[in-house]
Structure 1
């Protein structure tokens, strides 16, 4: 495993564990709209990406990071890997800040934005041949199907929020956008070759756009 990828996983696990044990630490560094708007605590836009709600949440994100990270590093390089991962966390949380700008108590945590950016950056380059397993199941599916399921879940949870969820589902989408744009900018010819699979993976995002921009207007 690349040392940079390993370092990110270890740092995330350590910070998340501290958050599990110290509620005041968790509250200080989680994403929270009101704290960012009123007190200008912009560090939360990045620090929230290293906090998680519980061990299952942490393991899921680190699993996907472990699965996609090596491919992204191999294709894009270490510097671009860091740009995609950290940039996706930031843009994902900025999207959350915009979407929930009138909900000052909204809060969220998790590396989902960064992980989503890596997924899109990786899968749009080779959506069929990247085979991913589902946790604890002896089943491997093409990356574009995994991506579609992952973002389908994110869109569903964003449109059907639950009390005390604390997971930044909107950050999945902002992060995905960053990774997608970065991948297109670096390898436009590969993206065009895989346009059909990219379109299939993007179906949940198109549905979200319909719900936000069209259905509300019609209603």
Structure 2
């Protein structure tokens, strides 16, 4: 049994610390979670990475970390730490960017979790280790990794189209595709040694990406919670956000004029400092 690598251990610890902090501090959780408007309107790009270390509960954290642990051992030892970390973070960011594109007109869409990064590790393993088999927890069943990859892609596409659950299929699929592409870039020889499996996985994935970008009307990619809402342009979102901040500032300034600065609460003073930047 391979020992856990330093990069894997560091990621496990970082995920644990950030998740613990987020579950006990809502402000921290809110400041670092994936949020469409915060990223597109307020240019808060750190959320593309930070949200991947937050989890909604310890069950989801455990599932992601167990998967990270199981798939990272072979990858880190065979790829080396720098390439492994490149794979992890490009999958994380790639998955979130795909989710951002899918939900760009859904201002209230939020997400968290390491699933995009973990999916990248899983798909990279499928590409790099063609003979690998994947089992299921509590079930003595093993299937070829490439078959699992195909099923995963098709399920993710269905999940994105149907939007019937609370799972971030977009980040899963985006992270998985990016992870597989990074594995190919770092080890091009797998294009010949594992060409059939790669083709079966990449063809539906890239076809779906093409349709999402070029012909989205054919897919009806929509969030059911946002269908009744007006779709705002980026300029409208920016102006609305700016007006909201101005209203907050005016309210605080009015209180200062009427009662003086010393009558402000600590929260109001902090907000005044933030809005005055």
TM-score after normalising by structure 1: 0.86
State the Cα deviation string for residues 123-180 of structure 1 (Å, max 9, x = none): 11222x22222122222222222323333332222222247x2x43211222223222
In the TM superposition, what are the counterparts of 1:102-141 in structure 2 within 5 Å?
A: 102-127=105-130, 129-141=131-143
Deviations 1:105-134 (A, max 9, x none): 11111111111211222211222x222221
User: Partner of 2:30: helix, strand, or coil?
Assistant: helix
**CA-CA distance at 1:32 after TM superposition:** 0.3
Larger radius of gyration: 2
Aligned to 1:191: 191
1:58 maps onto 2:66 in alignment: no
Does structure 2 retain, via aligned residues, the 8 Å contact 1:112–1:169?
no
Segments ≥4 residues shifted beyond 6 Å: none
The count of aligned residue pairs is 216
Q: Distance in 2 between matches of 1:58 and 1:218?
A: 31
**Could you tell me which of 152, 155, 163 is aligned with 1:153?**
155
- The CA distance in 2 between the partners of 1:146 and 1:57, in whole Å, is 20
2:177·2:202 contact (CA, 8 Å) conserved in 1?
Answer: no
CA deviation profile, 1:76-104 (whole Å, cap 9, x unmatched): 11110000101111121122222211111
Corresponding residue SS for 1:89: helix
1:174 corresponds to? 174
Correspondence for 2:101: 98
Secondary structure of 2:106's match? coil
What TM-score do the two structures reach when normalised by structure 2?
A: 0.70
Q: Which runs of 5+ in 1 are unaligned?
A: none
Q: Which structure carries more relative contact order (alpha carbon 8 Å, separation 6+)?
A: 1
1:187–1:210 Cα change, 3 Å? closer
> Structure 2 stretches of 5 or more lacking a match?
221-277
Which whole-Å CA distance do the structure 2 matches of 1:181 and 1:25 have between them? 33
Distance 1:215 1:51, change over 3 A: closer
Instruction: Indicate the RMSD between aligned Cα atoms, in angstroms.
Output: 2.4
